[in-house]
Chains A and B, each alone.
Chain A
Amino acid sequence: MDIFVQQLINGLVLGSVYALVALGYTMVYGILELINFAHGEVTMIGAMVALSVISALVGNGVALPGVVIALLGLLAAIPACMALGFTIERLAYRPLRNAPRLAPLITAIGVSIVLQNLAMLIWGRQYISFPPILPQGRHQLLGASITDVQIVILVTSVMLMLVLTLLVKRTRLGRAMRATAQSPQIAGLMGVNANTVISLTFVMGSALAAVAGVMVSAYYGLAHYYMGFLLGLKAFSAAVLGGIGNLAGAMFGGLLLGVIESLGAGYIGDFTGGFLGSNYQDVFAFFVLILVLVFRPSGLLGERVGERA
């Protein structure tokens, strides 16, 4: 039983990171009906920028508590990723706003490859390790163990999701975003500047991605130039699972996918009598993606959206 709880904790921590990244996919899709495949790389750049700052501070013997140093890294990563998200939209997607659907999809994959190679040039090809500055406390919970870092990841993710939900539901900007998602033309006639709203959507999604990237690198203790690729694909699967374009769906889909992955990898060997092994861990996300697309294309929480008139 305690092993099951442990797998659940593992899955929720992993899933809360997926959820943060999935929000970026879903927000952009909700407004533009575009899959921003470079979003995973934004996560990676966030981790890399934070690690550069943290390593520089630690390397120069700055006498600050580890948590403060990590926060400084995060504070450097967030604006960097915001600027990156803004730039990607301006350069790669805005000129193609009225082009056929396939064109921005191809540029998105192009941006993803460019960012990966750029990161390889700047930070090198090897794994970069996260300096051991964070508290390594472990706590017992229902017979399972949960570490300080895991608690921080869970709490931060849930807080950010709440903040984002309130922002979309309760503020003028949120209303403008929802209006633009429904109909950019009519929102424009009502005085909403669609370009500004779209830019802000990218900026917000990228800020969340930055936080996710820093948390992932703190959790595993490393970062590398292609870490965003698989993370991005899994987060995209999570967004589809929840219902692409649906904020609550992205959060739910992310958490669910993390749990599916952990339980799947943990128990697949026992259930199949060793026929399938835990090396299929990365396959579950895509298996779920296929199931969703076949049986419920609009996702678990998504509604069937009719074609726009």
Chain B
Amino acid sequence: MAALVLGGCGKHDGAASADNLIKIGSVAPLTGPQAHLGKDNENGARLAVDEINAAGLTLGGRKMHIDLLSEDDQADPKTATTVAQKLVDSGVAGVIGHLNSGSTIPASTIYHDAGIPQISPSATAIAYTAQGYNTAFRVMTNDEQQGHVLGQYAVNKLGAKKIAIIDDRTAYGQGLADEFAKAAEAAGAEIVGREYTTDKSTDFMAILTSIKSKAPDLVFFGGMDPQAGPMAKQMKQLGLKAQLLGGDGMQTPEFIKLAGADAEGAIASNPGLTLDAMPGGKAFREKFTARFGPIQNYAPYAYDAVYVMVEAMKRAGSSDPAKYLPELARTDYQGVTGKIRFDSKGDVSGGAVTLYQVKNGTWHPLETVYSGK
């Protein structure tokens, strides 16, 4: 302990084993309705960590080993801050997470105060990087870009004139719905109804009935698949004949499983390219499915996030957050998901968004749009 207090030059004379260990945190909901997505993120990160360990990682002439510390934030902002503090206390060099914007934002303050770099594979709310934290990064197109593309697509490509919007009141759902509304109105559509639910609900009969009375030709949902699935079912039950449109939270195999035949025709977006169009997508799918089964959604992004973090450590020759953080900001990495570069806020540059539609029980890509934002 005394050596640590002295700091400076005597920093590395602790136990050899602890010295060669880099702890990286991975946080996502591993329990509750979004557990399948959380596990997917953890598996993506784990695949990358195991590969890097197997290939052998050398920093500053010393052989290192990465330990992935997986934590469950239950998609709950309060729990997220608790596990973030726990990871900081256990001395992580960086964090891959969290999954949800609502939990990523409060946790990012804790990482920033401790100077720990954080890369979220899937949080897309604008507020996350707008805080001005130099430790906050993401490898996925944000909601400003995604909502903008969705709003324009709904009006210009799907010809929607009267639109009803539902969101789940989370940072993600609300943020995406707001951006969507802005873009749809700018493109000339009328927002005829705005309804709300929660990220725990399964009953949407009341709000869908009230939407039905306004006869929209498109219903936009900002939220996740556990709600989107039953929502698609209940739209059919009520005979509400409107196009269902959503964001990346809905564009999952789980949505189709929960909605069954009623998923048919639904359209949803996902930031980035299709897995097949991603430069390393096909190879990644083979590797991942052989070990963990089908990809839910964000695994390739979690996988890339680990590599981006470790590449920055390699360039800095150290896993010390203060030393590799400047290198992380200068990232220029060709990942599975595409070219990853960060702008001054920590957002990924590019802004590609792909639209998918459910046909014959699977998601089929319609087209990839560049938001230019």
Contacts and interface: CB of A to CB of B under 8 A. Distances in A.
Interface of A: 3, 6-7, 10-11, 13-14, 120, 124-127, 129, 132, 136, 138, 145, 147, 149-150, 220-222, 224, 226-227, 230, 261-267, 269-270, 274, 277-279, 281-282
Contacts of A262: 205-206, 209
Contact of A10 (B35, B197, B198, B206): B206
Nearest to B236: A136
B30 interface: yes
Contacts of B30: 125
25 contacts: A7-B206, A7-B209, A7-B210, A14-B203, A14-B205, A125-B35, A126-B35, A127-B254, A129-B257, A220-B203, A220-B234, A221-B259, A222-B230, A261-B206, A262-B209, A265-B206, A267-B210, A269-B194, A269-B195, A278-B195, A278-B196, A278-B197, A278-B210, A279-B197, A281-B203
B82 interface: no
Given A126-B36, A266-B207, A3 B195 contact: no
Interface string B251-280: 000100111110000000000000000000
B360 interface: no
A6 B210 CA distance: 9
Interface of B: 30-33, 35-36, 169, 194-198, 200-203, 205-207, 209-210, 212-213, 226, 229-230, 233-234, 236-239, 254, 257-261
Contacts of B169: 279
Contacts, number: 106
Nearest to B30: A125
B312 to A, nearest CB: 33
Given A3-B213, A120-B31, A266-B207, A282 B198 contact: yes
A136 B258 CA distance: 15
Given A221-B258, A222-B202, A263-B206, 18 more contacts: A3-B209, A6-B209, A7-B209, A7-B210, A10-B206, A13-B205, A14-B205, A125-B31, A221-B229, A222-B229, A262-B205, A262-B206, A265-B210, A266-B206, A278-B197, A278-B206, A281-B203, A282-B198
B177 to A, nearest CB: 12
Nearest to A261: B206
B261 A3 contact: no
B237 A145 contact: yes
B205 A10 contact: yes
Residue in B31, B205, B210, B261 with the greatest tally of chain A CB atoms within 10 Å: B205
